[in-house]
């Protein structure tokens, strides 16, 4: 069973977009996929509800309830855990006995980089991460590769204590698809395919990490 945690100290950096897209990707592949939503705002859960009619539906689990781990069906192939803004390093540490991988989305802005760096350093210093029991990486999100701001942000991110696993571009496709309970993996148009390709290094990394 693949278990991935998406977390950040920052809000609005793309945690739910990342969580719903990873879940959709595995569900479209035919895997039994569960999305645990630890955020009281319940965006991931609402997305699952909007998706309920599709063959590649994703099972939502309320992660704000204490016993959420017991609610995961034994037949699940993938479990994606979405978390609220302002996760502390202790919050993440408390989930490391459960997950195989941690992903931290980062936006290309000085405020985001500044706020995330200490969080990332602390996550990299956690025992299970240092010992390689759990893999952890950064996902550059909402990048506009042709801008200096994005190029600068990527250079900065590469100095962080965790590797940059993927670079997702800024596109309204994410906003439109998630609003419909879908993801870019549910579409096949040429324009969408190039954005699906942005995910390849991340999907490969999760596979290779044995996660």
Cα separations (Å) of 193 from 186, 187, 189? 10, 8, 6
- Out of 170, 196, 203, 205, which residue is the one contacting ligand ADP (CB under 6 A)? 170
Stretch touching ligand ADP by CB under 6 A, among 10-18, 122-130, 131-139, 203-211: 10-18
Q: How far is 153 from 120, CA to CA, in rounded Å?
A: 15
Residues 14-33 that bind Mg ion (CB under 5 A): 15-16
63 binds ligand ADP (CB under 6 A): no
Residues 6+ positions from 188 with CB-CB distance below 8 Å: none
- Out of 4, 7, 16, 45, which residue is the one contacting ligand ADP (CB under 6 A)? 16
171 binds ligand ADP (CB under 6 A): yes
Exposure of 86 by Cβ count < 10 A (0-12 exposed, 13-18 middle, 19+ buried)?
exposed
As a residue count, the chain comes to 211
In the bound state with ligand ADP, the residue whose beta carbon lies nearer, of 174 and 185, is 174
- Out of 7, 9, 14, 24, which residue is the one contacting ligand ADP (CB under 6 A)? 14
In the bound state with Mg ion, the residue whose beta carbon lies nearer, of 16 and 183, is 16
17 binds ligand ADP (CB under 6 A): yes
Which DSSP symbol is given to 205? H
Least distance from C-beta 16 to ligand ADP, angstroms? 3
Binding site for Mg ion (CB under 5 A): 15-16
């Amino acid at each position: 069973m693949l278990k991935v945690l998406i977390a950040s100290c920052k809000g609005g950096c793309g945690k739910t977009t990342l969580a719903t897209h990873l879940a959709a990707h595995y569900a479209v592949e035919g895997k039994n996929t569960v999305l645990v939503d630890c955020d009281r705002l319940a965006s991931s859960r609402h997305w699952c509800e909007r998706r309920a009619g599709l063959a590649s539906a994703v099972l939502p689990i309320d992660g704000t309830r204490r016993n959420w781990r017991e609610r995961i069906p034994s037949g699940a192939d993938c479990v994606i855990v979405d978390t609220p803004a302002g996760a502390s390093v202790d919050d993440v540490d408390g989930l490391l006995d459960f997950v195989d991988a941690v992903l931290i989305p980062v936006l290309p802005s000085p405020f985001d980089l500044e706020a995330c760096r200490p969080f990332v350093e602390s996550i990299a210093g956690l025992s299970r991460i240092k010992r390689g029991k759990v893999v952890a990486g950064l996902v550059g999100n909402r990048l506009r590769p042709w801008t200096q701001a994005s190029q600068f942000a990527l250079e900065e991110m590469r100095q962080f204590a965790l590797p940059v696993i993927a670079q997702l571009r800024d596109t309204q496709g994410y906003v439109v698809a998630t609003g419909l309970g879908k993801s870019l993996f549910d579409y096949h148009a040429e324009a969408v395919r190039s954005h699906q390709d942005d995910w390849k290094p991340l999907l490969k990394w999760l596979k290779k990490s044995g996660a």
